[in-house]
Amino acid sequence: MNTIDVLLWTVQPDKQESDFERFVKVNPRLLVNLGKALEVAGFEKAEADDALGKLKKIQEQCFIGSLTPDSGVALEATDEAGQVNDSEPAEAVEDLPEDDEHVIEVSKYPIGIWLEFHTDSEHMIRCTLAAKIDTIDKYVFVNSQGVKVIEKSRMGLARELKAGTVKVISEAPLMERAMETVIGKLREGGS
């Protein structure tokens, strides 16, 4: 019953800041327990993994909808392995000057650029810039499944770039890189 109570809590909307800390602590164990329950129930591993992956997305959406970076909780939700990562709330810092090289660089980032955010010494999140919303000064980043994982202001992103906690890993959008790889392989095969 405790597992079901925790499961229901993780998918309820209207989360508070303190809920994210609890979520980070209890969710890995919850997912293990649910995986074991699905195995006992006769689900095949692939089927169980798929169901747990869908659950993770629902959990992320519950937190992303309730918490924003403005609330003091940075939602760097998942890394490539699907693990939940929390990060320290950003401290109030002065803005960089508009002519700072980092501010200028961030302003030129195209949609589709891939960045790597270092949430701590062990964890990083790779994501792509999905939207630049100038009216509210937000840059929205999604993971490889298209789930929003990070939302930053232009100045916040520039500060992270300057601090070295974020770096560009590819300026070309994923489809362009994939096409270049395919064309390169075709050329190699033809010669």
pLDDT in tens, 115-161: 999 877 778 898 989 888 888 889 999 888 888 888 999 999 999 99
On the question of pLDDT at 47 being above 90, the answer is no
At 114, the amino acid letter reads W
Sequence spans of domains, the chain: 1-67, 71-191
Q: What is the DSSP track for 169-180? A: EESS-HHHHHHH
pLDDT in tens, 150-163: 899 999 999 999 99
Mean pLDDT of the chain: 76
Phi and psi at residue 135, to the nearest 5°: -65, -30
The per-residue pLDDT for 75 is: 41
Which one, of 169, 56, 160, 51, lies nearest residue 106 by Cα? Answer: 160
pLDDT in tens, 23-37: 777 878 888 888 888
DSSP 13: S
Which one, of 49, 78, 50, lies nearest residue 64 by Cα? Answer: 78
